[in-house]
Each structure stands twice: as structure tokens, then as C-alpha cells.
Amino acid sequence: MLKRYLPILTWLPHYNRRLFGADLLAGLIVTVMVIPQSLAYALLAGLPAVVGLYASLLPAVLYVLLGTSRTLAVGPVAIIALMTGAALSEVAVPGSPAYLQAALALSLLSGLMLTAMGLLRLGFFANFLSHPVIAGFLSASALLIAISQAAHLLGVTASGYAATGLLTSLLGNLGATHWPTLAVGAGTLLFLVTLRRRGKAWLMRLGLADATAGLIARAGPVLAVVATTLASWHFDLAARGVAVVGAVPAGLPPLTLPALDLELWRALLVPALLISVVGFVESISMAQMLAARRRQRISPNQELLGLGGANLAAAFSAGMPVTGGLSRTVINDQAGAQTPLAGLFAALGIGLATLLFTPLLHHLPIATLAATITVAILTLVDIPLIRQTWRYSRSDFSAMAVTIALTLLEGVEAGIISGVLLSVMLFLYRTSRPHSALVGRIPGTEHFRNCERHDTETVGHLALLRIDESLYFANARYLEDTVLDLVARRPELEHLVLICSAVNLIDASALESLDAINARLKEAGVTLHLAEVKGPVMDRLKRSDFLDDLTGRVFLSTYAAWQALSQPRE
């Protein structure tokens, strides 16, 4: 039981010097790489830059104790930062003490929700977010983030968390573009894009190994931060109007206590739930992909507890909502992390930087962080998947399109809620009209196929109807209509066999419909039979009176029904 809730106990007893060396190196690399990201994502959420560093410390330690992924790196991420900013701006003024208190309350609520979901084993809840909806939400959120960062690149102000408000602000302030800021931002943007696209190939031509070249290419944000900070300090760009990070408090995060403000909590409940679910989906997707590659196992329910503990830690250490980050996890994995202790070493490294080196960040241009965010986040705009979804399923594409449109026009909360609701509605609509097929025997075999697709052998007095969906309240009446329409069109019909090979469930509403079908067919002189009923479904039917009232039989296979019923009555 202890190992179940503290997964660290499953691998720590086997820890050795080789693992220590690999984890220490990975932790050092992640420390250097994610400091610019942490600062940038805190600013994206409308919080002081140092909050991003605080959120990378104690939350990462809690995840080491509670998480099951060996390589997942927990901390601030772009999408959660955007959602955090959108939620907090509704309840407080950015930069005010109330805004910081709201961030702590949001972290606390998110942590409590994730922990409760983990204890209740609700890891399956993420399945309600279909992949097209998630892809649409991430793509639209990435565009929103890029638009919001354009203001920092241009040196102007822009407000809002929807595309309309942001674009209106940007266009209205274009005349006030600050050219030195634009030079820093555009130069950094060009450097990062070039290094991302060509850097690895150029470094490999110089003789570097593939892994080393890839790692250095990913260090572009660090190089950009160092170069622009030095330039800002040397040329005193702040005096020329270029916005810089400014004073970043040195020292470890203070212990904080979120305010017990029921009105604030009530206002943040829905945003906290959305942040929890979206963060969990992003985190578990990344963790499972890397675990499969390493032949390791991830427990979704324990991951909920790990992320819940991380967010609770953020709430009590002046942080912000966190989750498993895509970019920092990829860096951690490719740097050679072997166990979660790599995350602990990274947290110690960031803590050391927070304690000793934050004064060096004073001259860091905000435009550099904006360029870093923009380059990182635009990789989430998945144009190929949007195109493929359009070709493959127009209904799934409609859910994706609505999610994208509402996320851009109304904000992240409206986008994700509408996407989930539309996905559920489309599922209910599709399953409320289950596919069914009249099947016939392939001559000379025991196989039965759709009569409209294959040359089959049939007899007039026998109908074999295959139901290709579980039977539940939403499609029970449709099944009745399908069967009665079939009987009305076949006056010579004597036997109807419902083939239930694809039926995994018959709920109470569907059972009533089957009773009604059985009674109506009996009145019409048609015998109802079942075939290929699955064991769990049969177990439930045996607990009802349906089998006692059934006018026909239950056959093990469709072929057995064919053999028994294909000859007409004498």
C-alpha cells in the first residue's frame, strides 16, 4: 500500500552510482534550459517573473515523491499559464496583491481537485476530451499566446485573453511601436527560428554527435537570454525604453497560505477544474508516450495524485498552477534522465539560481522572453492534424473547428467547454442511430456478411440483423423502429435473429425496448432470437425476465441460428 501511494519506494532501493550520474547531468541541463521558460510563463500568466521559478521548486519535489513517470518534468507550462491569466484577470487586477492571492487559491483548488480525482480513481475522466478537441484547443491557445506576445515584441500594450480584444489593442497601438524593442524581439525571434530549423544540421556538419547537436540547438533560448541580457546591460537599453524584467527577488520562496475566501473560491471553481483536466491530459499524454518507449508503466490515477501534490505545493510556496511540461520533459528525456531524481536535481539547481543569481536577470529584455514563448508555443499549431481530421471525419472536425473558433473569440474556458460538450453530443448522436446490417451467408462457408456489400445466400422467412453498437437509452427507440420497419417490409418473415456480437451493454431502457420488440413480433407471428450474446451481457439478461418471455432461442453463433432456422416451417 505504501509503494502504491509513494512510487519512489519502488525504484529508490535500486538506485546506484550510474543512475546518479545520468540524473545529475540531466538535472543540470534542465536547470539551465527551463529558467527562461519559467520566467516567461509567469509573465504570460500576469504574475511576477520570480513566481515561475518558485513554481519549479517544491512542486517538482512533490512530483518526485508521488509521480510514476521516470522522466516527466513538472513546472509552469504555456497553456496552463494562459488559462491561469485568463482566470485571474476575471477576479483581480494584474500586479495587485489580490491577483497573487488568487493565483495561490487557483493552485490550491487545482491541487485539491486533482488529488480528489486520484483518490476516486477518476483517471478515465480525461477520455472525455477527444483528441481533435484537445488538438484544436492547443492550436487555438498557441495562436492566442503568440498574439499576446506580439505586444511585447512590438513594445506596446495589449489587453485581453481573446483574439478579438488582443488584435484590437495591437492594431490600435501599432503607431506606438517601440523600435529598439522590436529590434531585440525580432532579432531574437529570427535567431531562435533559424537555430531550431538549421542549427542541428550545421552543428553536425562541424562534427558534433547527433544527440549533442540536438541538445545545443535546443539551448537557443539560453543563448538568447545571455546575449540579450549582456547587450541590454552594456547599452543600457532600459534607459532607451526597452522593457526589462527588473529586480527579481533573491532567495527561496516564502511559505504562503492561500486566503480562505469562499467568494473567490466560487469564482475560480470552473477555471480550476478546466486547468486540472487540461493539465492532466497534457501531462499523461507525454508521460505515457515516453514510458512506452522505455517499456515502463504509468498509473493515470497515481499521476493525478502526483500532479495534485505538485499544485498543492505551489499553493503553499508562492507558486502558480503547474503540470508536466512538453518542452521541459523532452529536454529531460533527451538529456538522459533515468529516474525522477533528475527532476529533484533540476529543482535544486533552479533553487540555487533563485538564491544566488537572480540579480543577473535584472537587464533581461521582456521581448526576449516573448520571442522564446512564441517560438516554443507555435509548435503546438498542428496544421497536418487539422487537415487530416477534415478529410477523415467531418463531425470530429466540427468539434475541432468550434473549439478553435470559441477559444480564439471567447477565450480558453469557452473553447474547451464547448469542445467537450460538442464531442459528447456528437457521440450521443452517432450512437443514438446505431449501424445495423442485414447479413447473409457466404455460400459454402460459416461466415456471414452484409448483404449489400457481398454476394450472400439468404432465405425469405429468416432475417439476420446485426447490431453494431451497444444498446442504451439513447438508441433504444431507434432499434425498435428499425426492427418494426423491417418486419413491415417483409410479410413473409417468420424468424428474426438479432446478432449481438458488437453489443457490449444492454441497459434498462434497451431491455424495455427488447421486451416491446419481442411482444410486437409475437403479435405479428414472428419469432425473435438472439445470437452471439457476450458473457457479461448474458449475465445481466439472466437477472431479468426477458429470457423467460423470449419467443425464440439464444444461439451461440450466427451459423448455429442459420442451421436451425433456414428451413421453412412445414
The per-residue pLDDT for 246 is 87
Bridge partners (DSSP) of residue 440 are 449
CB half-sphere exposure, 194, CA atoms < 13 A: 8
- Which pLDDT band, with edges at 50, 70 and 90, does 131 fall under? confident
At residue 90, what are phi and psi to the nearest 5 degrees? -80, -15
CA–CA gap between residue 262 and residue 485 (Å, rounded): 57
Q: Looking at 172-181, 188-197, 369-378, 543-552, which range is the least confident one?
A: 369-378
Q: Which residue has the cell 527561496?
A: 252
511-523: pLDDT as tens digits: 999 999 999 999 9
Distances (CA, A) of 90 to 84, 98, 353, 411, 428: 10, 12, 33, 12, 34
- Which pLDDT band, with edges at 50, 70 and 90, does 490 fall under? very high
Segments of 287-446 assigned E as strands: 323-324, 436-441
CA–CA gap between residue 47 and residue 256 (Å, rounded): 16
Segments of 468-509 assigned E as strands: 495-499
Bridge partners (DSSP) of residue 555 are 531
Contact (CB, 8 A) for 101 and 41: no
Q: Which residue has the cell 556538419?
A: 205
Task: Centre a 10 Å sphere on the Cβ of residue 445 and count the other Cβ atoms it contains.
Answer: 10
Task: Centre a 10 Å sphere on the Cβ of residue 119 and count the other Cβ atoms it contains.
Answer: 13
| Maximum distance among all Cα pairs of the chain, rounded to whole angstroms | 104
- Which pLDDT band, with edges at 50, 70 and 90, does 569 fall under? low
- Which pLDDT band, with edges at 50, 70 and 90, does 314 fall under? very high
The per-residue pLDDT for 11 is 87
Q: What is the mean pLDDT of the chain?
A: 90
Distances (CA, A) of 391 to 204, 383, 386, 487: 38, 13, 9, 37
Query: By C-alpha distance, which of 92, 117, 88 is closest to 276?
Result: 117
147-170: pLDDT as tens digits: 988 999 999 888 777 888 888 888
Q: What percentage of the chain carries pLDDT values higher than 90?
A: 57
Q: Which residues contact 437 (CB under 8 A, 6 or more apart)?
A: 450, 451, 452, 465, 466, 468
CA–CA gap between residue 102 and residue 97 (Å, rounded): 9
Q: Are strands 554-555 and 74-75 parallel, antiparallel or unpaired?
A: unpaired
Query: By C-alpha distance, which of 65, 58, 52, 51 is closest to 12?
Result: 65
Task: Name, of 82-86, 109-113, 410-414, the range with top average pLDDT.
Answer: 109-113
CA–CA gap between residue 455 and residue 249 (Å, rounded): 78
CA–CA gap between residue 395 and residue 265 (Å, rounded): 36
Look up residue 68 and give its three cell numbers. 510514476
Contact (CB, 8 A) for 453 and 466: no
Look up residue 315 and give its three cell numbers. 499553493
CA–CA gap between residue 89 and residue 106 (Å, rounded): 12
Query: By C-alpha distance, which of 6, 119, 68 is closest to 298?
Result: 68
Contact (CB, 8 A) for 48 and 30: no
Mean pLDDT of 52-59: 95
Q: Which residue has the cell 524581439?
A: 185
Q: Which residues contact 30 (CB under 8 A, 6 or more apart)?
A: 73, 328, 331, 332, 335, 337, 342, 343, 346, 349
Look up residue 405 and give its three cell numbers. 473558433
User: Is the pLDDT higher at 332 or at 254?
Assistant: 254
Chain-centroid distance of CA 211 in Å reads: 28
Residue boundaries of the structural domains of the chain: 17-424, 436-565
- We find that the CATH architecture of domain 436-565 is 2-Layer Sandwich (3.30)
Q: What is the pTM of this model?
A: 0.80
User: What is 116-173 written as a DSSP string?
Assistant: HHHHTT-GGGGGGS-HHHHHHHHHHHHHHHHHHHHHHHHT-----SSHHHHHHHHHHH
Q: Quick check: 500 pLDDT over 60?
A: yes
CA–CA gap between residue 484 and residue 498 (Å, rounded): 13
Task: Centre a 10 Å sphere on the Cβ of residue 287 and count the other Cβ atoms it contains.
Answer: 24
Mean pLDDT of 526-533: 96
Query: By C-alpha distance, which of 499, 515, 501 is closest to 549?
Result: 515
- Which pLDDT band, with edges at 50, 70 and 90, does 305 fall under? very high
Q: Quick check: 356 pLDDT over 70?
A: yes
The per-residue pLDDT for 570 is 54
Bridge partners (DSSP) of residue 438 are 465
Mean pLDDT of 484-492: 93
CA–CA gap between residue 429 and residue 458 (Å, rounded): 32
The per-residue pLDDT for 126 is 66
CA–CA gap between residue 337 and residue 14 (Å, rounded): 15
Look up residue 198 and give its three cell numbers. 538549421
The per-residue pLDDT for 293 is 77
229-266: pLDDT as tens digits: 999 999 999 999 999 998 888 888 999 999 889 999 99
Specify the DSSP class assigned to residue 250. Answer: -
95-113: pLDDT as tens digits: 899 999 999 999 999 999 9
